[in-house]
Every structure is written in structure tokens, then in C-alpha cells.
Amino acid sequence: MSRIVYLHGFASSPLSKKARWFGERFAASGISMEVPDLAAGDFEHLTISGQLRVIEATCKGEPVVLMGSSMGGYLAALYAARHPEVEKLVLMAPAFCFARRWRQPFVGGFLPVYQYGEGRTINLSCGIIEDGERYEDYPDCDQPTLIFHGTKDTVVPAELSVEFAARHARAKVRLLESDHELTDVLVVMWAETAEFLGL
């Protein structure tokens, strides 16, 4: 099957729990999963455009299956809308409407954010919002898409994924009794992902 590229969430890293968990399951099926560092080592100046460039460099214009969590899910949809060679999408609590929903104030142009990958607080530039406003709330991607979203998600409302699916005939939403992290429904997500990808 096509290469699988996993896109981690905001303030996360390639070592996120879900990335490692899915990577182990794919490996057991004889499939490797790539997980790029979307911040490219510079979380302070993180932008949507910069992360899309990392994805482009990773995918290299080749057929891929994209998996994404939270912001990574939104990025996967943005990338797929611009790259028809993407074959399928698996999105977990995708952060649609990212820039429009941002409510945290940037004081002096920066916001202190705990970056879990580095284990420390980093001042994030407000450029992420200015850049993010250039992108659509609901990317117009036509690929078959499986979305998992927790009904108890207080970070990204599940209604956003329901709205996305209503706009995209090839998208299916699975609402699960979980929160934004979805770490308590990993077994369910793996079973449905494996079936969706034909493993």
C-alpha cells in the first residue's frame, strides 16, 4: 500500500502517544509509518504554511495516506485539498476553523505555550494566527476520509467534524465517547482504520 505519513498535533511531537501507538500497529502489519517534526525544530515561529512545507518535503509528491491528530488533522485536509495524489485521510479530532477559533491573547506578539515534545515552555509567535487566516476553515479535499471525534472534546467541538462531513460526500465521521486526546479509544480507532485502509 501507499506510504503512511502521520501528522502530530499542536505543541506535540513525533513521539506523541498516538503516533507511537499507531506506528507500532502498522509495524506489526509490516508497514512503516513516517512522522515528521512539523515544527522543524522551531516551534516559536510555527505557522500553517511552514508545517505544510514540511509535509510537502516528506510526501515528495508521491501517493500517500495521511493520518493527522488535531492540528495535524486540519493540516492533512489542507494538504490533501492541494495534492490529489493523497489517497486517503484518517483524521482524529481535526482542528477545523483553526485561526477563526483561536481565543488565546498574544501579549507583545507572543504566547507562552508548553511544548510537550521539548518538555518546556516556548514563546509562540502570533504569526501562526496571521498566517492561519489565509487558509480555509474546511478544506475542499475529495479523498475518502475517516474522521474520529470525541463527543466530550472541549478543545475542538465535534460539530466541526460533522459539518466537514456534511460538505464532503466521501467523508465519514465516527463519534466516540471520549475527549480530545482519544487515547482511551485507540483499539477501536485502530480496528476501523485498518478496515478503512484495507489491511
**pLDDT at residue 122 above 70?**
yes
pTM over 0.85: yes
User: Cell triple for residue 166?
Assistant: 456534511
Structure confidence at residue 71 (pLDDT):
96
Q: Which triple of cell numbers denotes residue 79? A: 494538504
Give the pLDDT band of residue 23 (cuts 50, 70, 90): very high
CB 136 within 8 A of CB 112: no
Q: Which amino acid, 97?
A: C
Average pLDDT of the segment spanning 131-153 = 96
Confidence of residue 1 (pLDDT cuts 50, 70, 90): low
Mean pLDDT of 52-63: 95
Domain of residue 32, residue span: 3-196
In the chain, how many domains are there? 1
Whether residue 79 contacts residue 50, with contact meaning beta carbons closer than 8 Å, is answered with no
We report the CATH number of the domain holding residue 35 as 3.40.50.1820
Local structure of 91: helix, strand or coil: strand
> What is the pairing mode between strands 86-92 and 145-150?
parallel
Transcribe 4-55 into DSSP letters: EEEE--TT--TT-HHHHHHHHHHHHTT--EE---TTTT-GGG--HHHHHHHH
Eight-state DSSP code of residue 105: -
C-alpha cell at 31: 508497514
